[in-house]
Amino acid sequence: MQELVIGIDTSCYTTSVAAVTAAGTVRADVRQVLSVPEGEIGLRQQAALFQHWQNLPVLLGRLRKEARGPIIAVAYSGSPRKEAGSYLPVFTAGANLANSLGAALQVPVYSFSHQEGHLAAGEFGAGGPAGASFLAVHLSGGTTELLKVERWACGYKISVLGKSLDLNAGQFVDRVGVALGLPFPAGRHLEELAVSAGETELSLPSVVRGYDLSFAGPTSAALRLLERGAEKGAVARAVFRSIAKALEKILRPAVLTTGLREILLVGGVASNSLIRERLVERLEHPAVGARLFFAPPHLSTDNAVGIARLGRAILKGEMP
Indicate the number of domains in the chain. Answer: 2
Cα 314 from Cα 311, distance rounded (Å): 5
Cα 11 from Cα 141, distance rounded (Å): 11
pLDDT in tens, 215-240: 999 999 999 999 999 999 999 999 99
Q: Give me the domain span that covers residue 78.
A: 4-122+300-316
Is 238 within the bounds of a domain?
Answer: yes
Q: Are 118 and 138 in contact (CB under 8 A)?
A: yes
pLDDT at 316: 87
Cα 94 from Cα 15, distance rounded (Å): 9
Is 13 within the bounds of a domain?
Answer: yes
pLDDT at 154: 75
The 3-class secondary structure across 181-234, one letter per residue, is CCCCCCHHHHHHHHHCCCCCCCCCCCEEECCEEECHHHHHHHHHHHHCCCCHHH
Q: Are 227 and 235 in contact (CB under 8 A)?
A: no
Is 287 within the bounds of a domain?
Answer: yes
pLDDT at 169: 97
Quick one: 18 and 58 in the same domain?
yes
Is 236 within the bounds of a domain?
Answer: yes
Quick one: 306 and 275 in the same domain?
no
Q: What is the CATH number of the domain that holds 213?
A: 3.30.420.40
Is 135 within the bounds of a domain?
Answer: no
pLDDT at 222: 98
- 165-195 burial, b at 16+ Cβ within 10 Å, e below that, comes to eebbbbbbbbbbbbbbebebbbbbbbbebbe
Give the predicted TM-score (pTM) of the model. Answer: 0.95
Q: Are 295 and 121 in contact (CB under 8 A)?
A: yes
Quick one: 311 and 249 in the same domain?
no
User: Computed over its alpha carbons, how large is the radius of gyration of the chain?
Assistant: 20
- Tell me the pLDDT of the chain (320 aa) as tens digits: 799 999 999 999 999 999 999 999 999 999 999 999 988 888 999 999 999 999 999 999 999 999 999 999 999 999 999 888 999 999 999 999 999 999 999 999 999 999 999 999 999 999 999 999 999 999 999 999 999 999 987 789 999 999 999 999 999 999 999 999 999 999 999 999 999 988 889 999 999 999 999 999 999 999 999 999 999 999 999 999 999 999 999 999 999 999 999 999 999 999 999 999 999 999 999 989 999 999 999 999 999 999 999 999 999 888 77
